[in-house]
Amino acid sequence: METNDLLVLTPVEAAKLLRVGRGTVYEQIRCGLIPSIRMGRKILIPRAALLKMLENAGVHGANSEA
């Protein structure tokens, strides 16, 4: 199954998708910047919430002009 078909991503899959390191994703999750769901010991990132976060960052990000 391709990453595009998944409803949730692992932090490693999200890191690949975002082109950042795994540690960066875990840090952003810990800070509450990347939405996540904890199921027991497993951390899952809802794909739709991650995409929405990226859309909002494009509109309200630090590099956008206000």
CB proximity list for 18: less than 8 A, separation 6 or greater: 25
* Domains of the chain as residue ranges with CATH: 3-60 (1.10.10)
Nearest Cα to 13, choosing from 57, 39, 47? 47
This prediction has a pTM of 0.77
Tens digits of residue pLDDT in 4-60: 788 999 999 999 999 999 999 999 999 999 999 999 999 999 999 999 988 888 776
Tens digits of residue pLDDT in 4-20: 788 999 999 999 999 99
